[in-house]
Amino acid sequence: MNTNQRSDGSKEVKLAQHLTELVGQKTETRQDPWCVLPYLRLSPEPNVVCFRSQQFVLIDTSEDPPVSRRAVLRDLDEDGGPISPVNMASNSVTIEDIVAARERIKNYVHVTPIMTSSTMDELTGREIFFKCENFQKTGAFKARGAINTVLSIKEGRITPGAKGVVTHSSGNHGMALAWAAQIGQLACDVVIANTTSDIKKSAIQRNGAVLTQCEPNAVSRIETCKRISDEKGYEIISTCDHPCVIAGQGTMALEILDEIPDLDAIFVPTSGGGMAAGIAIAAKAINPNIKIFSVEPEGKNLEPCLRSGERLWPNPPQFLDTIADAMPMQQAGKHTFPILCELVEKTVFTVANDDIVKALRFAFQRMKIVIEGAAALGIAAVMSDKMKSLDPSIRKVAVILSGGNIDIDHLPWAH
C-alpha cells in the first residue's frame, strides 16, 4: 500500500502509528514464513502488516524468512483509536496453535474414524472420505474447541483466574463446554433456546452446568449470555469466535491429512465458521493447494458475503428455518468471517431441508451411522447437481460429519 494513497487522518495511518509505538512490547519472536499468509493488507508504515479485521501483528521483512513479532496490541475504534487491551497471542490462530491444541487435548478426545462408502464413490465419481465426528466426545466436533479452551484457561494461557465460563448455544457447544468445564473443575453456565431438544438440555445438565433457557432467537441468546457473564464474572466462550475454540476445531484437519495426505478438498458445514476457519488455517498451512468448501443451510447467504468480502447479513442477527438445528445462526462470526473470506472457496454449497432429509436417510440406511441434520449437509453437498460441475481434478474429497446428536423420537422424515 502506498502511503500517499491515504490521508494522515485515516484509520490505517493511525493504526500504523499505534503499532510502531508497540514494537518494543513483543512477547514472542520466531521464524514463521507461514504467518504472512493470512494477512489482508499492508499498512502505510514499513514492516507492519494488518492482520485480518482488527487483529494485527508486526512482520520484520528484512529477515529471510520474515520474522513475526507478536505484540500486546489494542483493538481500534471506528476512528482508529485504541480501545480495549488484548493480547495478540490470544487473538490470532496459527498452525502452531492448532498443533499445540492437538497435543493439549489428545488425552481427552477421540481421533475419530474416517469412513468410506463405495455407493457414494459411484454416485459422485470421486473418492469421498467421511470424518466421523458423530463418534466424538459429547457427540460432536465441539468437544475439541471446548476442551482446548478450558485446558488453556487452567494452564493460565488465557483469562487466568477465571471464575467460570458461560456460553450461548444451539446445544452441541453447550454440551461440550459443560463436559470440558467439569473436567477442568470450572463453573459453567449455558444459555439455550427453550425450543432446544430435551436430549441436549439433559446432557448439559448431566455434566453439571447451570442451564438457562431463553427465547428462540439470536438476540435473546446473546443478551442472556452477556447478563450472566456480567452478574457472575464468567468468561464468555463463543461457539465460534474464540481463538482456542478455532484452534481446537482445526485439529480435525491434522488428523484428516495424516491419513489422506493427497486430499484435494474438504467440505465443512458452516454456521458461525469456527470449524471452517480452524480447518482452513491448518489444511492450507500443510497444503496450500487444498480447497475448503463451506456447506450452508438454505437462507444463510454466505456466498455473496465471501465474494464481496463484506458482512451483507441483516441486523440484528437472525435464526434460519432449517432442520439442521445445530446451526441456526445466519451470520458468521466477527473473527471467523475474515478468515473464511481469505482461505475458503468463494463457491458455497447451499442445502435445502429436503436435501438434508435425503442425506440423513443415506447415512442411516446405506452407511449405517447415526448423524444429525447439520452433519448431513456435507453428504447432501456431494450428492448435489452442483457437485457434478465441480472441477474434475478434485478427486479426493473429505466430508465432515459434524455430529450425531439427533432426537431419534422426532426424526425429520417421521412427520
Q: Are 199 and 407 in contact (CB under 8 A)?
A: yes
Question: Nine-digit cell at 313?
Answer: 447479513
**Active-site residue list:** 142, 170
Distance in angstroms (rounded) separating the CA atoms of residues 148 and 154: 10
Q: How far is CA 148 from CA 86, 252, 257, 302, 394, in A?
A: 20, 13, 20, 27, 32
Dihedral, CA atoms, 23, 24, 25, 28, nearest 10 degrees? 80
Distance in angstroms (rounded) separating the CA atoms of residues 235 and 126: 44
Find all residues with CB under 8 Å of 250, minimum gap 6, and list them.
93, 97, 98, 101, 277, 278, 279, 281, 282
Distance in angstroms (rounded) separating the CA atoms of residues 85 and 25: 13
Chain-centre distance for alpha carbon 192? 19
Q: Are 365 and 97 in contact (CB under 8 A)?
A: no
CB atoms within 10 A of CB 31: 11
Q: Which residues pair with 266 in a beta bridge?
A: 292, 398
Q: Alpha-carbon torsion 333, 334, 338, 339, what sign?
A: negative
Distance in angstroms (rounded) separating the CA atoms of residues 308 and 310: 5
